[in-house]
Amino acid sequence: MIIETKNARETYEVGEKIGRKARPGQVYTLMGDLGVGKTVFTQGVANGLGITEPVSSPTFTIIQEYEEGRLPFYHFDVYRIGCIEEMDEIGYEDYFYGNGICLIEWANLIEEIIPEDAISITIEKDLEKGFDYRRIRIEGMEEL
Ligand code: ADP
Ligand code: MG
């Protein structure tokens, strides 16, 4: 599925719909260059799950946990991970195979441990279509 957005609000709303639909145990991977809208999208997901506290990038902690929503929300950013053993150390399996929702930024760096049924989301710019245009590709989900 491909969704095109014209501004940050629309990208937020795509995330929101995914958050509202998310079922226990679902893992989402989120890819895209710096400044493309990963945090905007993630904030939408969190809102869709009923989380009201502010969501930012967990860049220095690998994982940020939010418990106040409809389901626990685990936001990973593995950009600074040195080796896969660091994921073992934080006990990633309890998160990936638990009943909460996982959203993993830079998941390509830990590809070997991403569950097969993860839903893959990639956000891209296309400057020919304007500065605020984004193409959001979602694999593993039929509709929003
Ligand atoms: P990332 O987390 O991927 O580094 P951010 O979500 O922090 O990116 O920032 C995205 C920036 O791009 C924000 O300033 C946002 O307002 C802007 N933006 C412009 N158009 C869009 C769009 N269509 N979708 C998402 N963000 C957009
Ligand atoms: Mg970000």
* Contact 36 CB / ligand 1 (< 6 Å): yes
How many CB atoms sit inside 10 A of residue 49's CB? 22
Tens digit of pLDDT for each residue in 30-62? 999 999 999 999 999 999 999 999 998 766 789
Q: Which atom of ligand 1 is nearest to the CA of 57?
A: 2
Tens digit of pLDDT for each residue in 71-104? 999 999 999 898 999 999 999 999 999 999 999 9
> Can you give the length of the chain in residues?
144
Strand ranges (DSSP E) for 1-144?
A: 2-5, 27-31, 63-66, 73-77, 101-105, 119-125, 134-139
How many CB atoms sit inside 10 A of residue 64's CB? 19
- pTM for this prediction: 0.96
| Distance from the alpha carbon of residue 8 to the mean position of ligand 1, in angstroms | 6
Is residue 49 within 8 A of residue 17, CB to CB? The reply is: no
Q: Whose CA is nearest to atom 13 of ligand 1?
A: 37
